[in-house]
Each structure stands twice: as structure tokens, then as C-alpha cells.
């Protein structure tokens, strides 16, 4: 059978394999199926295309435009995911593995698309945090802003998740406004290539936003500079080699690494056999060992159980693992497929042998395969027991990237935490317990060594997402051995592709830069009441100053009895005076808010569709009967929401007859375009 030719997409052209191409074998049968790589790939042209065509086009758009693009890419992939499933079987993955890789990757795109529109501005500059007051009178302020890097993100991915691995990096990169060159691991690049084709054929991205290298990267990394980012997933050895590249070091090129990790799972001391937690622990560990045949950066490599429970854990785990149906992943009965290649199989067996020097193998099974499958990269689950984990080293530093894990006993929680931390920095540790004190101790003791701590028990098990699943909302990465990098984590992940700059200047400057009104910046009177003006007509800084209204004792009495809020500070002069906050009976804060609405509202039907909330309310000075209040309402920020309306955030201040601030808040309305 002719080998499938896996192309690269470089500077707007598909480039077929050429000199230096590698042959890729099916994980299931070991037979050659594809060829990828071309030594003649023009990496300089690719960098130029990304930097000078893709980058400028992406930066012209705003965060919301790019978020919509990411959503459309996710939809294009969804429409053709059956093709991706079909292509993926040859990597050894089962249909449930595909759900993690393909559906999980698409889901990640959707989460970033939605976060981009909900949590990022409808503009080009991201404001990081609030305005900082740098001067006494507020004429000189500071604001951290993030703008897209003007280079290219080179995404180097591991073989185990050819789709998710690309998309979890691509979504935050595109959202940031940075073009990407994706380089999948050669072993499974045929799946990534198909996903890239689907995205490009959907014709959503500007030219130069996405390029693909199938095969080797050549000397691309030697041409990176301070505006570029390398985001790497793979082995610690390769990460070390790539991050030590003199050009990367000299130009301080951002290098995000997510690499080998000796993750652990701890069985809490309360989780005795017979409890829901014990069963849950066995289920999670067995699942982590066998999903993707253990080829997951987050898989559980070390099983840490109370010493007296070690035997029960081994027994229960062995019983569960013995039911693993190993075989052709296309067969629906199969629960565990093959490793990605014969090379990986040899590597896993060699690593298991190293672990075997310090631990006794307590479970394995005959995969029972014959025919074509006999040449596939199948490895059965292998469970080890390390009787002396304190004096062992290899069980804590050898990552057998397959269905291999080691049970070790702990004496007390400090010991359990110390063992988990022996991984030297991991992506994830899980803890199965129903005891919140144990959970707190583990977070305190192991947090510094782990990027994620996953706690599960009878209360959360039905909805929990699994020890091994990085989620787009949460940070993925870990210190030390895990690479020291961080990916995803919602908007945090987008910032890896942007530069944070501390901008200092006058309120007017900051307001104009950020597209968000800042106290002290210009206030302009609009041509009509702002509630009669449509979303697009309102300008940032447009302000309404209302007439004033005197608050009477009758108002306070009436409000108290009408609402039932007869709190003593509003009703009893002597009691209110005994309180350090009040001069005597005072108006209810909510009465003031209601009066404020009465002062600023325009009653007729108009473009204001709804009042959807109020943020950051502060009452600063009490209002007594006889005082008067007036309101200033300023358009602070506008965010497009749907095709029909957008959100207007108003800065509202209430002041008294002496112009002292009585209350301050932000009012949210939805306004028609
Ligand atoms: P590698 O580190 O060898 O490869 C990872 C990526 O780096 C691949 O895309 C690879 O491309 C690329 N790469 C390798 N060398 C270079 C280079 N000199 N310049 C540019 N890119 C390069 O990991 P593997 O995928 O081969 O897996 C090996 C081991 O890594 C596993 O056995 C496992 O222990 C660990 N691993 C850890 C993962 C994790 O997330 N923790 C994930 C996957 C693997 P190419 O394929 O073309 O060589």
C-alpha cells in the first residue's frame, strides 16, 4: 500500500515530504503507513510569513473577533470529527481515547472562545488589573496592560495528543493575536495534519495565522527573537536541549515547557476498604493507567497508600486491571490500545525494568494478541510495589510512559506528602479523601511541588472530571521536573503570548489607551439623556449630572416600613448614635440607591433594555434626614454581547450637598445597538 504523504503547510503552500522524510508505522500492526518531513522546508520564509502577514492581520482584530474565529474553528472541527477519529486509530488510541484528544481539544477551543468574549475586552488592549493610584491628587496613575507579542509562537507537541496538544496551545495563542507554527510529534502527525487541513479549509483564519511542520523543524529555533515564544510538550531531555539553544538563551525567548512528570495519587487515611473513597481510588488509578495506554503526561505513576492498606490496594487494583481488554482500538470491546510505536514500547519496557530494580512487579497480564496485532506496540498494564520508597530513587524519577505504576506505603500524612514531593515537581497529584483537614494539609505541604491538586470523594465523584484531565479553565503545568511551565488556566494562558507593560500617565491617557473611563478623565455631556442613546451612540466618558433630592425623615420611615428593613440605625436615634459609624438615624443605603435610580432614569421605552447588575458598591458617608443627594453617571466601558445588544458599564457616584462622596458603584445595563 502506498504510504500516505503527510505535508507541511509553509508560507501559504502545502509542501509534500521530501529528502529526509521519515516513515511512520501503525501502532497497531507495526506496518508503515505514512511518510513525513522535508529537509528543504524554508523555515525562514515560514517565520517571515507568520511575523509579517499573520501577525499584523491578527493584531488588527480585537479579542472578541478572534474569540469568534476560535469558536468557528471549533465548529469546523466538530463537523468533521468522524474523519479525525478514523485517522486516530492507527496511533493506538481507542474511541474513548479519541474523546479526550479530539473532543477534548475542540472543547478547549470553545472554552477559550467563550472566555475571550466574557472576560476580555471588545478591543485590542487587555487591561491587567485595576488602575493604581500613583499620586495624591489622582492626576498621575498606573495601569498594567497586555498587548500581543509581534512574533510567532512555535508549538512543539508530543505524540500522545495530536489534536488536543495542538488546540490547547493554539486557542490561547490566537486569542492573544499571535500566529502559530505547529510542529506535532512525527509519530502521530498525520492526525494533526488532518486537523490543520480541516481548519484551513474552513477559511476562517487570516493568511499566516497557522502553519504546520510535519517532520523536523530544521534550524527554525536558531532564528527566534524576543517577540517569539516556544511552547513545548514532550520529554525532559528534549526540553533541556531546546531551551539551552544559545539563540533562545541570548534573546530571552519565552520557553514554556510541559514535560515528564512523576504524578502521584494519595489514598487518604480515612478511605478504608468498603468506603466510597476506596472504590473511587481504585477506579481512578486503573483508569489513569489504561487510558491512552498510560501515555498521558498526567497519568498516575506513583500510588501512595496508607501502609496498612497497601495489600488491599494491590489486590483491588490487580482485580480491576485484570479485566482490561487489550487489542485493536477499532474493536469496540477494546479498553486499552497500543503505545504509539515500537520505539515507545521498547522504551517503556526498559523503564519498567529500571523501576523493577527497586520494586517488585505484583501484577501484569498476557495481552493475548495474535496475527497482525502481534507486531503492534501493545504493552499490558504493569503494577509494581516498592517496599522502601524512602530509600528508593528510580521509582520517583523514572517515567515509564505507558501503563506502568508503582504502589508505595506511607506512615502518616507528612510522609505521604514527602513521597508525593519526591517527584521533584509534578503536573498533578490527586488525593482521595473525605477529610477536609487531610486535604488542607496536603495542599499546604504539596502545593509548592504541584501544578494541580485534584481532590475527590463521594460528594464530587459523580461530576468530577478525572485526575488526568487538564481543563482549559485551570492551569496545566508544574514546577521542576514537570518543566516549570504553565499553560491554559483561562485568560492566564492567553497572557503567555502577550507582553505585560506598566503604563503610567494621566487619567485621560489611560482612559483613551484602555478604552475604559478612569476617574479624573474627561467627562462629556451628551446631546441627550444617555438612556435615550443607543449603544453605538454612547461614548466613553459621556456623563449625566442629575438634579438633587432632599432625603426626609418621612422617606426613611416609609422605606423602613414598606421594605421591612427597620434596622435600628434607621429607626432609633439613640441606638444609632451609640454606633461608631452613625451620627444618629440615617437613610438606608438601598433607599439612596433607589433615589439615585429615580434621579438618573429616563422612564420611556428606549435603547436601555435591562439593568443587569451592580458591581463594587461602597457606601462612604451616611446620609441623614435633611441631607440631599445627587448622582453622576458616566459611561465607563462598553462590551458587545450579542447581535442585538451590548453591555454598558456606568460609573456612578452619589454626592451630598457638600459634594462629599456618599456612595459609588458600577451599574450594568444592556443597551440596544
Ligand atoms: P520528545 O521530547 O522526543 O518529542 C517531543 C516533541 O519534540 C516532538 O514533536 C519532537 O518531534 C520534538 N523534537 C524532538 N527533538 C527536537 C529537536 N531537536 N528540535 C525540535 N523539535 C524536536 O518526546 P516524544 O514525543 O518522543 O516522547 C518521548 C518521551 O517523552 C516519552 O516516552 C515520555 O517519557 C515523554 N513525554 C512526556 C509527555 C508529557 O507531556 N509529560 C508527553 C509526551 C512524551 P519528533 O517527533 O519529530 O522528533
- Choice among 168, 193, 258, 542 that is catalytic: 258
Give the residue whose CA is nearest to atom 11 of ligand 1: 185
Percentage of residues in the chain with pLDDT exceeding 70? 100
Q: Report the pocket of ligand 1 as residue ranges, CB < 6 Å.
A: 156-160, 183-187, 216-217, 233-235, 238, 242, 258-261, 297, 344, 347, 399, 401
Q: Are 30 and 375 in contact (CB under 8 A)?
A: yes
Tell me the per-residue pLDDT of 49-68, one tens digit each, with 9 for 90 and over: 999 999 999 999 999 999 99
339: exposed, middle or buried (Cβ count in 10 Å: 0-12, 13-18, 19+):
buried
Beta bridge pairs of residue 385:
360, 407
Cα separation, 468 vs 449, in Å, equals: 17
Give the residue whose CA is nearest to atom 16 of ligand 1: 238
Mean pLDDT of 21-37: 93
Nearest in space to 294 (alpha carbons), one of 232, 258, 339: 339
Range with the lowest mean pLDDT among 305-309, 352-356, 636-640?
Answer: 636-640
Tell me the per-residue pLDDT of 212-237, one tens digit each, with 9 for 90 and over: 999 999 999 999 999 999 999 999 99
Tell me the per-residue pLDDT of 388-421, one tens digit each, with 9 for 90 and over: 999 999 999 999 999 999 999 999 999 999 999 9
Give, as one character, the DSSP assignment of residue 2.
P
pLDDT computed for residue 374 by the predictor: 86
pTM for this entry: 0.91
Mean pLDDT of 528-554: 97
Cα separation, 647 vs 441, in Å, equals: 43
- Choice among 297, 386, 487, 647 that is catalytic: 297
User: Cell 450637598 belongs to which residue?
Assistant: 657
192 Cα to the center of ligand 1, angstroms: 15
Query: Using 50, 70 and 90 to split pLDDT, how confident is the model at 238?
Result: very high
360 is catalytic: no
Mutate to test the pocket of ligand 1, among 27, 46, 234 (most ligand atoms within 8 A of CB): 234
Could you tell me where the beta strands, DSSP code E, fall in 235-301?
254-259, 264-267
pLDDT computed for residue 260 by the predictor: 83
Mean pLDDT of 266-278: 96
> Who has greater pLDDT, 135 or 370?
135
Mutate to test the pocket of ligand 1, among 91, 185, 347, 480 (most ligand atoms within 8 A of CB): 185
First to last CA, the chain: 59
Q: Are 337 and 92 in contact (CB under 8 A)?
A: yes
Mean pLDDT of 44-51: 98
Q: Are 288 and 467 in contact (CB under 8 A)?
A: yes
490 Cα to the center of ligand 1, angstroms: 25
244: exposed, middle or buried (Cβ count in 10 Å: 0-12, 13-18, 19+):
exposed
Residue 1 has pLDDT above 70, yes or no: no
Q: Which three cell numbers stand for residue 273?
A: 476498604
216 Cα to the center of ligand 1, angstroms: 11
Mean pLDDT of 90-115: 95
297 is catalytic: yes
Residue 430 has pLDDT above 90, yes or no: yes
Query: Using 50, 70 and 90 to split pLDDT, how confident is the model at 581?
Result: very high
Amino acid at each position: 500500500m502506498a504510504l500516505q504523504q503527510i505535508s507541511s503547510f509553509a508560507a501559504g503552500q502545502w509542501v509534500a515530504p521530501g529528502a529526509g522524510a521519515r516513515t511512520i508505522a501503525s501502532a497497531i500492526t507495526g506496518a508503515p503507513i505514512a511518510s513525513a518531513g522535508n529537509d528543504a522546508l524554508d523555515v525562514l520564509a515560514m517565520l517571515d510569513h507568520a511575523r509579517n502577514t499573520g501577525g499584523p492581520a491578527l493584531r488588527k482584530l480585537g479579542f472578541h473577533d478572534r474569540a469568534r474565529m476560535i469558536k468557528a474553528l471549533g465548529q469546523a472541527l466538530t463537523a468533521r470529527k468522524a474523519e479525525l477519529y478514523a485517522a486516530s486509530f492507527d496511533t493506538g488510541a481507542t474511541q474513548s481515547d479519541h474523546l479526550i484528544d479530539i473532543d477534548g481539544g475542540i472543547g478547549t477551543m470553545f472554552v477559550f472562545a467563550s472566555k475571550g468574549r466574557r472576560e476580555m475586552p471588545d478591543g485590542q488592549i487587555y487591561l491587567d488589573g485595576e488602575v493604581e493610584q500613583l499620586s495624591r491628587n489622582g492626576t498621575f496613575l498606573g495601569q498594567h496592560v497586555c498587548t500581543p507579542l509581534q512574533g510567532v509562537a512555535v508549538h512543539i507537541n508530543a505524540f500522545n495528543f495530536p489534536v488536543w496538544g495542538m488546540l490547547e496551545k493554539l486557542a490561547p495563542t490566537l486569542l492573544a493575536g499571535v500566529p502559530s507554527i505547529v510542529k506535532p510529534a512525527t509519530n502521530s502527525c498525520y492526525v494533526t495534519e488532518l486537523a490543520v487541513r480541516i481548519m484551513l479549509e474552513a477559511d476562517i483564519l487570516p493568511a499566516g495565522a497557522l502553519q504546520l511542520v510535519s517532520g523536523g523543524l530544521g534550524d527554525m529555533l536558531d532564528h527566534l527573537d524576543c517577540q517569539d515564544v516556544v511552547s513545548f510538550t514532550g520529554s525532559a531531555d528534549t526540553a533541556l536541549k531546546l531551551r539551552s539553544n544559545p539563540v533562545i538563551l541570548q534573546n530571552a525567548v519565552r520557553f514554556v515547557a510541559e514535560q515528564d512528570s512523576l504524578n502521584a495519587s494519595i489514598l487518604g487515611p480515612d478511605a478504608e476498604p468498603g468506603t466510597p473513597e476506596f472504590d473511587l481510588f481504585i477506579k481512578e488509578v486503573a483508569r489513569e493507567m489504561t487510558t491512552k495506554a498510560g501515555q498521558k503526561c498526567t497519568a498516575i505513576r506513583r500510588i501512595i497508600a496508607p501502609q496498612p492498606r497497601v495489600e488491599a490496594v494491590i489486590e483491588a487494583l490487580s482485580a480491576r486491571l485484570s479485566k482490561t481488554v487489550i487489542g485493536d482500538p477499532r474493536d469496540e470491546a477494546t479498553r486499552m490500545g497500543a503505545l504509539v510505536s515500537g520505539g515507545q514500547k521498547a522504551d517503556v519496557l526498559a523503564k519498567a525494568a529500571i523501576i523493577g530494580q527497586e520494586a517488585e512487579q505484583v501484577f501484569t497480564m498476557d495481552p493475548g494478541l495474535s496475527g497482525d496485532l502481534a507486531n503492534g506496540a501493545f504493552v499490558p498494564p504493569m503494577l509494581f510495589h516498592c517496599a522502601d520508597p524512602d530509600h528508593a530513587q528510580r521509582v520517583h524519577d523514572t517515567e515509564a510512559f505507558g501503563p506502568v505504576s508503582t504502589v508505595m506505603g506511607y506512615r502518616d500524612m507528612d510522609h505521604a506528602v514527602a513521597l508525593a514531593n519526591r517527584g521533584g515537581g509534578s503536573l498533578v497529584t490527586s488525593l482521595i479523601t473525605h477529610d477536609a483537614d487531610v486535604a488542607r494539609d496536603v495542599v499546604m505541604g504539596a502545593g509548592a511541588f504541584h501544578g494541580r491538586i485534584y481532590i475527590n470523594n463521594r460528594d464530587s465523584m459523580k461530576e468530577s472530571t478525572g485526575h488526568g484531565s487538564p481543563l482549559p479553565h485551570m492551569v496545566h503545568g508544574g514546577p521542576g521536573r514537570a518543566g516549570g511551565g504553565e499553560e491554559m488556566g483561562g485568560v492566564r494562558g492567553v497572557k503567555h503570548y502577550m507582553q505585560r507593560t506598566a503604563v503610567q500617565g494621566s487619567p485621560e491617557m489611560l482612559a483613551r489607551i484602555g478604552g475604559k473611563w478612569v476617574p479624573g478623565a474627561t467627562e462629556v455631556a451628551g446631546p441627550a439623556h444617555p438612556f435615550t442613546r443607543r449603544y453605538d451612540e454612547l461614548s466613553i466618558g459621556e456623563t449625566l449630572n442629575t438634579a438633587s433630592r432632599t432625603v426626609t425623615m418621612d422617606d426613611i420611615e416609609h422605606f423602613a416600613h414598606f421594605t421591612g428593613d427597620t434596622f435600628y440605625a434607621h429607626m432609633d436615634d439613640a441606638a444609632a448614635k451609640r454606633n461608631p459609624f452613625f451620627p444618629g438615624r440615617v437613610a438606608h443605603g438601598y433607599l439612596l440607591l433607589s433615589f439615585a435610580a429615580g434621579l438618573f432614569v429616563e422612564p420611556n421605552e428606549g435603547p436601555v433594555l435591562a439593568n443587569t447588575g451592580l458591581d463594587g458598591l461602597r457606601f462612604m458617608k451616611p446620609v441623614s434626614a435633611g441631607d440631599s443627594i445627587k448622582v453622576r453617571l458616566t459611561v465607563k466601558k462598553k462590551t458587545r454581547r450579542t447581535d442585538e445588544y451590548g453591555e454598558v458599564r456606568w460609573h456612578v457616584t452619589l454626592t451630598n450637598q457638600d459634594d462629599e462622596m456618599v456612595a459609588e458603584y458600577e451599574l450594568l445595563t444592556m443597551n440596544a445597538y
